[in-house]
Structure 1
Amino acid sequence: MTDMRQMAEHRFSGFRRPARAMLGSALAASGAAMASPAAASEDPQTFIEGGITIDTLSNRSGGQRRDSRVLGLASVAAGVNALRSGPLEISGFVEVQLVDGDGFSEDVVGDGQVVSNIDAVPGIRPIEAWLQLGTEGGRHRLKAGLVDLNREFDMQQVGSMFLNSSHGIGAELSQSGANGPSIFPTTTTAVVYGFEADRWGARVGAFNAVAGDPAHPKKTVLPFPGEDGLLLIAEAEHRSGSLRTYAGLWAYSTASPDLLHPDDAAGDRWRSRGAYAAMETTLATAHTGEKLESWVRVGVANEAVLPVATYLGGGIRYGTENRGIGFAIAHARLGDPAIDAAAIGGDGAQRAETNFELSYVHALTPAVTIQPDVQYVRNPGWDPAIDDALVIGLRLSVGFR
């Protein structure tokens, strides 16, 4: 059959931003110990931080074959916060990542959403390098440079504890672009404006349309934003007590061909586009401090040019900042054109790939975290020839600062 992962022109790896509110910085995966300089401190502060994440994964049944892999990600970051110049605050940030080990989803499980969010082409790459100007208090800020889109947009805080990539950034958005959008493992140049009020926030970004060099995945490319077209994205957020909601729109200025007619001339500009919305909240708090938290996210994309037309994900988590257990579901549905294209090219395709994940994370020390994880993948890769897969894994994260 037609390979649905190739039709997506990427692998849905969207490693979560280091600044995510997971179980505190000590529990974030790999460079997650690195607090984002987006929120300036009261005094100028320089820092060097980093982390190492190791995933040991084993496909116990189904998938393409039974096998085990070890994946690794090391990162180091340096920056300066809140360097004042008159009414402005200046921040700078640089992060470099080393990826070692890949292909577990592509070669072993066969799933499209990627069971480990550090599964990527090996290599050493800068993931971010930017300067930011902000007003005192952080109400307005303007960032320019090499920017990870997922550290600014579609940031799921409760879902960030899970390993599956779709809980970091939705599958309908991560499939976009000639080499994926500007997310892990390959980012590109951008300009981002952010506004923060007491309960409201908004962000708009203009990213170069092509992240890196699709023909040379290990190569670092630093184009001027817009040199290859633009990915424009906007997001609004509202906070009320423990309830956080956000919604966003995105579109590419570059033309995209139809899935059913890939050899024809590229379609109109802005056809590769989509929208998403999410809500997360604390459902209950125990007298001992444990919280029951939940989230749900939905996303849509233009099915004429992108395989995944609809995504629905969400889950629950119970615990404290030092430990927690959670269950999550990621459901990615193909559009009719992708189904028809698969029927034309081979044996057809299943409508949806669904991932069920049960995970427990425990901070042994402020710097060391372990995370046993179990994932069941229904219809891996939307391929009717691949049996449902059962994946067992263990993540070890070590941070330093």
Structure 2
Amino acid sequence: MLGSVLTATGMAMPPSAAASEKTETFVEGSITIDTLSNTSGGDGQDTRMLGLATMSAGANDLGDGPVEVSGYAELQLVEGSGFSDGVVGDGQGVSNIEADSGFRALEAWLQLSLDGEGHRIKAGLIDLNREFDMQEVGSMFLNSSHGIGPELAQSGANGPSIFPTTTTALVYGHQAGRWGVRVGAFNAVAGDPENPGKTVVPVPGEDGLLLIAEAERSFEIGRVYAGAWGYSAATPFLSEPEDAPGDRWRSRGAYAAVEATLANGPNGEALDSWVRIGVANARALPIATYLGGGLRYGTDDRAIGFAIAHARLGDTAIEIAEAAGDRAERAETNFELSYLHALTPMISVQPDLQYVRNPGWDPALDDALVIGLRLSVGFR
């Protein structure tokens, strides 16, 4: 029902050039396989395998003088879809690697940085979620809402410029001590909505713009960040014709998050936490509010965590369902328990358990219980 029209495929903290060691050039890749089984509730009981393979290359700190030049490109192969939409029936996305199968270019950009001044400009194909709304503590979890908020992931004719489909963009960032600011202008349509597997490189702004800005303040024990976004094109309201009166920035929203380390263990373990809230224009988008967060305890090699993702429909979406003779629940809530274990520096396994309350906001579906296992292999 309503879950099928929502796009929530934001990938939780995928590999990025910024995370690589500072070397002049590098080549790296990864393979991620999710085996997921819906054991009860939802649309039905079934087991599926989802796969994601990436290959990336980049160059850092090139050039002499005050301007540093960096470049990065990443290709991805996605295989397997239909688990959330066809089996669980949820709208937020049980697996953050699930997408329409295909071979795509995810990123291809150049960046200029002013040495010692904290200024940088990046241009090209850019994954918005690697610059904005990065839930660092939540990146361990499989559910898509812990990578990018669903109120933002639902926007755009083909989703915003996030996994699996990105578009051309220009991003400016400035870091001054503990303060950071980022501003981005993305083409409003990512890829080709009629051909999901196709990589499209449009002239920036030819379909309108998605503008987004974010400010961040770091502390000894964590950080706080907040952002706002909006589309320049006057998208239609959910229940009114396209020429309905109103300002053109109809598809818009804002978000804020806090991440903090609550305690430290004797052997390098840390108890990390985060809370994120997001809102969107309920007249133009189904999900009006979102609240998520959780706890993670352990190290980079071994950790256990619990997270909650609570997405609420706006009044307009509820009214549309009722007018169609259906009834929609107000909220879909996902509870996730996950354990990450690195077998080697490049191989990890992650058993995962998710309980979905009101999948797809559809009262006809029973709550779903999903058992999963993620296998991740990296190489360079």
What TM-score range do you get, normalising by the shorter chain?
Answer: over 0.9
Partner of 1:383: 362
Does residue 207 of the first structure (1) align with residue 183 of the second (2)? no
Whether the 8 Å CA contact 1:37–1:81 is kept in 2: the answer is: no
Give the one of 187, 192, 207 matched to 2:171.
Answer: 192
The letter of the residue matching 2:333 is T
Give the one of 37, 40, 43 matched to 1:64.
Answer: 43
Alignment of 1:161-180 (within 5 A): 161-180=140-159
Alignment of 1:36-115 (within 5 A): 36-37=17-18, 41=22, 45-115=24-94
Q: CA RMSD in A?
A: 1.5
Whether the 8 Å CA contact 2:138–2:274 is kept in 1: the answer is: yes
Name the CA distance, whole Å, in 2 between partners of 1:286 and 1:154: 28
Partner of 1:157: 136
**262-271 or 117-126: bigger deviation:** 262-271
Q: Which has the higher contact order (CA 8 A, sep 6+)?
A: 1
Name the CA distance, whole Å, in 2 between partners of 1:244 and 1:54: 31
Partner of 1:308: 287
Name the CA distance, whole Å, in 2 between partners of 1:170 and 1:127: 19
Does residue 4 of the first structure (1) align with residue 2 of the second (2)? yes
Name the CA distance, whole Å, in 2 between partners of 1:195 and 1:265: 39
Partner of 2:10: 14
- C-alpha change, 1:400 and 1:209, in structure 2 (3 Å) is same
- Secondary structure, counterpart of 2:100 in structure 1: coil
Give the one of 278, 281, 284 matched to 2:263.
Answer: 284
User: Between the two proteins, what is the percent identity of the paired residues?
Assistant: 68
**Number of aligned residue pairs:** 380
Q: Report how far residue 16 of structure 1 moved.
A: 2.4
Name the CA distance, whole Å, in 1 between partners of 2:128 and 2:376: 23
Name the CA distance, whole Å, in 1 between partners of 2:271 and 2:286: 34
Whether the 8 Å CA contact 2:29–2:378 is kept in 1: the answer is: yes
Whether the 8 Å CA contact 2:12–2:138 is kept in 1: the answer is: no
- Secondary structure, counterpart of 2:367 in structure 1: strand
- Secondary structure, counterpart of 1:387 in structure 2: coil
Alignment of 1:263-302 (within 5 A): 268-302=247-281
Scaled by the length of structure 1, the TM-score of the pair is 0.92
Name the CA distance, whole Å, in 1 between partners of 2:214 and 2:100: 29
Partner of 1:358: 337
Whether the 8 Å CA contact 2:4–2:85 is kept in 1: the answer is: no
Deviations 1:115-174 (A, max 9, x none): 000010000000000000001147110000000000000001100000000000001000
Alignment of 1:320-339 (within 5 A): 320-339=299-318
Q: Report how far residue 212 of structure 1 moved.
A: 0.4
Structure 1 gaps of 5+ residues are 19-31
The letter of the residue matching 1:365 is T
Name the CA distance, whole Å, in 1 between partners of 2:13 and 2:206: 25
Whether the 8 Å CA contact 1:150–1:169 is kept in 2: the answer is: yes
The letter of the residue matching 1:385 is A
Whether the 8 Å CA contact 2:237–2:250 is kept in 1: the answer is: no
Name the CA distance, whole Å, in 2 between partners of 1:138 and 1:364: 40
- Secondary structure, counterpart of 1:106 in structure 2: helix
Whether the 8 Å CA contact 2:112–2:121 is kept in 1: the answer is: yes
Partner of 1:142: 121
Whether the 8 Å CA contact 1:272–1:305 is kept in 2: the answer is: yes
Name the CA distance, whole Å, in 2 between partners of 1:204 and 1:394: 37
Partner of 1:127: 106
- C-alpha change, 1:260 and 1:379, in structure 2 (3 Å) is same
Q: Report how far residue 268 of structure 1 moved.
A: 3.4
Q: Report how far residue 231 of structure 1 moved.
A: 0.2
Name the CA distance, whole Å, in 2 between partners of 1:276 and 1:373: 27
Name the CA distance, whole Å, in 1 between partners of 2:81 and 2:245: 32
Deviation >3 Å, runs of 4+: 37-41, 262-268
Whether the 8 Å CA contact 2:17–2:58 is kept in 1: the answer is: no
Q: Report how far residue 260 of structure 1 moved.
A: 1.6
- C-alpha change, 1:318 and 1:138, in structure 2 (3 Å) is farther
Whether the 8 Å CA contact 2:55–2:74 is kept in 1: the answer is: yes
Name the CA distance, whole Å, in 2 between partners of 1:245 and 1:141: 21
**262-271 or 320-329: bigger deviation:** 262-271
Whether the 8 Å CA contact 2:4–2:91 is kept in 1: the answer is: no
Name the CA distance, whole Å, in 1 between partners of 2:2 and 2:246: 20
